[in-house]
Structure 1
Amino acid sequence: MNTPAPTSGRTSRFVTTQALLALDARHPLAAKSLIDAQDMHRTVMSGFPGWVDDGSPDARAQMGVLSTWTIDLRQAQLSLVVQSSVPSDWGRLPRQALAEEPRILTVDRAFRIGDRVDFRTVVNPVRSRPPAPGSPPRTRGTRVAHTRPEHVKAWFVRRLQPAGEPAVAPDGVPRIGADADPERLAFRMLPKVSSTAPHKGLRIARAEIKGTLTVTDPAVFVAALTRGIGHARAYSCGLVLVR
């Protein structure tokens, strides 16, 4: 299970499983997954039959499923990384869709204060726009996507956790248990993903962030690796990959 183990506060252990999938982007399953975010979600979740009741509204969260993908258009290959707290089974994927046999990795790693790790993540960077004046009580704000790298930078910096700072920022934003030099991070806007009916109107902004993190709070850092960061985690955002 990828639940943080008890720690002394200076060390925390991260245990999870990751599946590395290479799909032929010309196969209909991969092609539909690229075109429709909900189809990508179904492809990811197809690797976990039987672990939770059918139709469970929080199946992904129960199994700790996070994912991220990249596409090589020249090679027509879709590379998909799927992380989970339970073992995955990709026997339901059509063999013709696989460019290579799936590889399953078990990750078991301890993180300590001061550890430096290279990372990559694809996030859904959004801010909340308050309800219009005069809106009914309890009206929710509207999520608005950041569309410029400098705004994504500010979004991510708010989640960094300098040494000695609490796990939650003063404005309520959860931090990630690690710090970084913002000027040494790389930010790149990625194409939006969307879905048709029954999810008409679903459009997810995405940005890639790369760089080096210094662990400042191991337990919080492991929680961020386990649960992901930001919104749209059901749609291949929020997984933080480290090495």
Structure 2
Amino acid sequence: MYLTRFRVNTGRTDARRLLEAPHRLHGAVNMSFPDLPSRDGAGPRVLWRVDRNSTAETLLYVVSPNRPDLTHLVEQAGWPAADGLGWTTFDYDGFLTGLAEGSTWAFRLTANPVHNIRHEDHKEGERTQRVAHKTRYHQLRWLLDRQEKSGFEIVSKPPERRLLDHGDEHELVVRDQRPLQFNRPPAKDRRQDVRFTRVTYDGRLRVTDPDVLRRTLTHGLGKAKAYGCGLMTLAPLTRADG
């Protein structure tokens, strides 16, 4: 497995077009590999995420079974005349293998928190509708409900650090919420309107099952993985994190 970091040159028009259209960026990421892994769920897949850390720093992260070649992204959305490749790829296997039960990490996850609803006047056999969680409480609850099955637990806050009586029990925040809408290329002469909400979480977690967490980190969490959701990354805690 590999973890790749690419800095996006947001001063370029083509870069901004990619960032505004998840399906185009999905295609650009896929072009980094001569052969894409199967998406049958049996093995790791290509995951990606965009972190907008500041107006001067936008980073694209890619986790993949094979080493990518981002030359085309450098030419389209990077600094082609600068020294170096324009991206950095790390061997991810060593980090994944070293994950230990009980270890604590800072994490970031961009996900698509959704739930299924059925209308009161539904007809028998009618399919449920997938809708986005829109409130901070339900978005946080979405992740908390999945922690056990994903190989980790969100670290609890000590009572004296909680700002609210309810809803602030964990080291977990929603940093960014971004509703997205775009038209995919036509399929069978009909354009497809895609709408979803992309949410970024920052927090602290404790590893409860290293094998399961390794799968979460390499297979993704939740829906809309093709559009920049599902990728969780870990980082060592700093002194400021406690």
TM-score > 0.5 by shorter chain: yes
Say what the alpha-carbon RMSD is for the aligned residues. 2.4
SS at match of 2:150: coil
Q: Deviation digits for residues 5-39 of structure 1, max 9, x if unmatched?
A: xxxxxxxxxxx201111121232331221221211
Query: Aligned residue for 2:67?
Result: 87
Deviating more after overlay: 203-212 vs 59-68: 59-68
> Equivalents in 1 of 2:151, 2:40: separation in Å?
26
Query: Aligned residue for 1:179?
Result: 153
- Structure 1: stretches of 5+ with no match in the other structure: 1-15, 162-174
- 1:239 counterpart letter in structure 2: L
Shift of the 151–134 alpha-carbon distance from structure 1 to 2, 3 Å rule, reads closer
Query: Aligned residue for 1:111?
Result: 99
- Note if contact 1:149-1:188 (Cα within 8 Å) is conserved in structure 2: no
1:74 and 2:74 aligned = no
Determine which of 36, 41, 44 is the counterpart of 2:26: 41
Shift of the 51–24 alpha-carbon distance from structure 1 to 2, 3 Å rule, reads same
Query: Aligned residue for 2:143?
Result: 156
> Equivalents in 2 of 1:46, 1:131: separation in Å?
41
Shift of the 18–240 alpha-carbon distance from structure 1 to 2, 3 Å rule, reads same
Shift of the 60–196 alpha-carbon distance from structure 1 to 2, 3 Å rule, reads farther
- Note if contact 2:184-2:194 (Cα within 8 Å) is conserved in structure 1: no
SS at match of 1:147: coil
Query: Aligned residue for 1:237?
Result: 229
Deviating more after overlay: 83-92 vs 194-203: 194-203
- 1:214 counterpart letter in structure 2: R
Query: Aligned residue for 2:112?
Result: 124
Query: Aligned residue for 2:188?
Result: none
TM superposition score normalised by structure 2: 0.77
1:201 and 2:193 aligned = yes
Determine which of 14, 18, 26 is the counterpart of 2:11: 26
- 1:85 counterpart letter in structure 2: P
Percent of aligned positions with the same letter in both sequences?
A: 26
